[in-house]
Chains A and B, each alone.
Chain A
Amino acid sequence: EPEVTQTPSHQVTQMGQEVILRCVPISNHLYFYWYRQILGQKVEFLVSFYNNEISEKSEIFDDQFSVERPDGSNFTLKIRSTKLEDSAMYFCASSEASLNTEAFFGQGTRLTVV
């Protein structure tokens, strides 16, 4: 069964460092998303991406964040200068269509900023 894969599963980084979280969405999907969950809080939307551009982003997704689809298969989230409050589980998801189809999630990358 096709699945969304994310690497690494766990990343520890020093405050101020740049991190890149990687995702391989399901191959025929057109919409890609990043979500995150800070420990003990709700899963929060960060950004959606379609047709090689951001289609929607949340207030969390400020200039420190960027997304890229560098080739036909990968979808990356870059955090330019990490802060302690960026520590969270980051989930990538993809879907065939945007509205009433299910989004398939990866297992997540646990980012710990120290």
Chain B
Amino acid sequence: ILNVEQSPQSLHVQEGDSTNFTCSFPSSNFYALHWYRWETAKSPEALFVMTLNGDEKKKGRISATLNTKEGYSYLYIKGSQPEDSATYLCAFRGYGGATNKLIFGTGTLLAVQP
């Protein structure tokens, strides 16, 4: 059974704090790791698709790193703002038997206090 875990489950930070969360996934048959940002009552919004070991991607104040050999990815948010409050989901895409589907983690719920 392929398992994707995220930690922490939830996080409360003050505006301006920098924060990071972890996604761990199977290190075998890796194809891609997706990060999504999901605000309540909206569609999950794709942040990054990461495929290469050592990959580092950035979008504004949000960045992510990928280690496929050990099976983890970190998402960093620099200088958190209240509008960053959302659930951050990672999803693993395997190669071979599980070619199409995304296997999601439980998500990290981020609340940024003004």
Query: Which residues of A come within 8 Å of B, CB atoms?
Result: 3-4, 31, 33, 35, 41-45, 48, 50, 55-56, 58, 91, 98-108
Known: A91-B44, A98-B100, A104-B43. 15 other contacts (CB 8 A): A42-B106, A42-B107, A43-B89, A43-B91, A48-B101, A91-B43, A99-B31, A99-B93, A99-B95, A99-B99, A100-B32, A105-B43, A105-B44, A106-B43, A107-B43
In the complex the two chains form, is A45's CB within 8 Å of B102's CB? Answer: yes
State whether A108 and B99 are in contact (beta carbons under 8 Å apart), knowing that A42-B105, A43-B89, A100-B51 are contacts in the complex.
no
Asked whether, in the complex, the Cβ of A107 is within 8 Å of the Cβ of B101, the reply is no
B80-110 to A contact mask, C-beta < 8 Å, 1/0: 0000000001010101001111111111000
- A44 contacts across to B, CB distance below 8 A: 104
When distances are taken between beta carbons in the complex, the residues of chain A under 8 Å from B101 are 33, 45, 48, 56, 58
**Chain B: minimal CB distance from A42 (Å):** 5
Is B49 on the interface with A (CB-CB < 8 A)? yes
What are 10 A-B contacts defined by CB distance under 8 Å? A31-B100, A42-B107, A43-B89, A45-B101, A91-B43, A99-B95, A100-B31, A101-B49, A105-B36, A105-B43
